[in-house]
Each structure stands twice: as structure tokens, then as C-alpha cells.
Amino acid sequence: MQFSSQLLTLLAGAVAVHATLDPATSNTNNTCPGTVNCSPGKTSTAIQAAECAYNTRLSKQTFAVFVTDHKYDKSHGAPYGTCKAYACTSPTTAEMTDQSDDCWTFFWSGSGTSSGVGTNCIEDPSTGECGCENSDGTFVAGSSSCT
């Protein structure tokens, strides 16, 4: 029994998402950078595009690249996918060369083709209610002021 509780504690810590509410200032939908000048500082899988756009995962995050995973298409809050957060210089317009309906790039440096986050709200995966997530990953339905 003790082994099981230790394992659960370890797994809970491993899957915890640490993010800070800090919405992207611009975005470019259907396009990813062809090259990036650094490795991602954080990669999060099976999250909503809105989570990638509304929350930073690094203290000095400059942009994030989201790629859709279609196995979640029927879930509340879709699209879901992989979000890679970067803290290096954002790609230039000329470097945004990978055209794909499954790709979305979010910027905290104002380099996108559209202003703002570009997504809907972060949704409760069970009910579809809008809300936000605290930095410990706790979803707060109906709120827009998470910490």
C-alpha cells in the first residue's frame, strides 16, 4: 500500500502543469516556423490551443508553437495538441514557412499576423464552461483571473 501511494504522488508530480496566465499578444494561425533558433524550454502534450495561447510556461517566454492532435477533436476545448514554449528570439515573418492547418504560433513579442490570442477561452474538458487555470494546473470555471 505504501508503494502505491508513493507511486501516485510521483506520477501526480510528473504530470503537473506549471503555467502562468499571461495571454499572447499576437498569433499566426495555420503557420509554424520553418526554423527555430533554440530548443523548446517546455513541451506540453494533450492541452488545448487556448492553454498554449493564454498561459506562459517559461519565465521569459517569447513564443509557442502548437500542433493539433486530432484524436481529441470531439472533446470540449478542442483543438488539443502539443505546445512547445520557447524563450529565444521569435521567428521572423520570413522564417514562418511551414503552412499547415494543424499548426498555430503564439507570440508574446508582437510578431504574429493577428493581434491577441486568436483562440476561444480555455474550456473545462467535461462541461465546456470557460475559465482559466492556476499555475498549479487547477481549472477555475467562470474565472479569468487565475494566478
Q: How far apart are CA 144 and CA 141, in angstroms?
A: 9
For residue 111, give the C-alpha cell. Answer: 510578431
Query: 17-119 has which fold?
Result: Hepatocyte Growth Factor (3.50.4)
Closest C-alpha among 48, 145, 66, 137 to residue 103 = 66
pLDDT at 145 over 90: no
Helix (DSSP H) and strand (DSSP E) numbers for the chain: 2, 11
Q: Are 122 and 77 in contact (CB under 8 A)?
A: yes
Cβ pair 37, 89 in contact under 8 A: yes
Secondary element (H or E) of residue 44: strand 42-48
- The answer, yes or no, to whether the previous bond of 91 is cis (omega within 30 of 0) is no
Task: Give the pTM.
Answer: 0.85
How do the domains of the chain map onto residue ranges?
Answer: 17-119
Position 129 pLDDT exceeds 90? yes
pLDDT tens-digit readout, 43-72 = 999 999 999 999 999 999 999 999 999 999
Question: pLDDT (tens digit, 9 = 90+) per residue, 73-101?
Answer: 999 999 999 999 999 999 999 999 999 99
